[in-house]
Structure 1
């Protein structure tokens, strides 16, 4: 099992306790490896949320000894300009304003702004002026939150 998958498994009960969602996990190797955990609170991710997760997962990781070298643990919200990295984010951020860029024009447009309605059967649904626009996932080049 990959490190990220094991960390995800260990994080699950910690996040559920606070009503948080896991957005992404990154493990960056190098002189000083970094384990980054991105979390989301539908009511607004706070510093307290990040501290809560950091303290609990840090203790568990120390006991489990998954990372054999010293490393830096970072827990944060995904950030305003972060692009979606996995398909789960289309449902995590359901109801939020997003900007979707397509690889090629769809109905003469390559940029769509609206409220994310989610992802179903490979189709991203976006609400624009009370009209639901359907964009095939494989036609999307980039999606990010719109603040």
Structure 2
């Protein structure tokens, strides 16, 4: 039932998000304790509180009409966070241009840690660039991938 709810929520969300220029990052539904439906959205121009409130109102109304979740639950809508762990292949496209840190399961050219700008995904390889180098990291070798928040210097 949990997976069906997540898939149906995604179907309902996509046209709404497109209308506002937002991208769906993830939907989580946890039923341990008080059930929580978490929706993570991303605005390439900067996700605002207003974006999250707008999505919450719109999807909340749709979920009530659809009666998709037949019991009481908490709805949370938020941005993915500055140092979000990347969970699925779509996120490598959504977060193009952001700083990223990738740790691999085994060394690639003697390295296990790669940091730089995320350029996207090509043929199951994550493209990361620094000022000096371009890395192509096979998706199946990724142990951990996180967005990085790097404070600007003076």
TM superposition score category, shorter chain reference: over 0.9
> Where do 1:1-147 residues align within 5 Å?
2-147=4-149
Could you list the per-position Cα deviations for residues 5-40 of structure 1 after superposition, in whole angstroms to 9, with x for gaps in the alignment? Answer: 110110011101111000000000033100000000
Q: What TM-score comes out, normalization by structure 1 length?
A: 0.96
Q: Which runs of structure 1 show a deviation greater than 6 angstroms over 4 or more consecutive aligned residues?
A: none
Could you list the per-position Cα deviations for residues 93-142 of structure 1 after superposition, in whole angstroms to 9, with x for gaps in the alignment? Answer: 01111011111111111111111111111111111115321000001111
Match of 2:64, SS state, is helix
Query: Distance between the aligned counterparts of 1:17 and 1:86, measured in 2?
Result: 23
Aligned residues: 147
Could you tell me which runs of 5 or more consecutive residues in structure 1 were left unpaired when the two chains were aligned. none
Offset of residue 81 of structure 1: 3.0
Could you tell me which runs of 5 or more consecutive residues in structure 2 were left unpaired when the two chains were aligned. 150-154
Match of 1:2, SS state, is helix
Query: Distance between the aligned counterparts of 2:32 and 2:127, measured in 1?
Result: 39
Give RMSD over aligned pairs: 1.1
Q: What TM-score comes out, normalization by structure 2 length?
A: 0.92
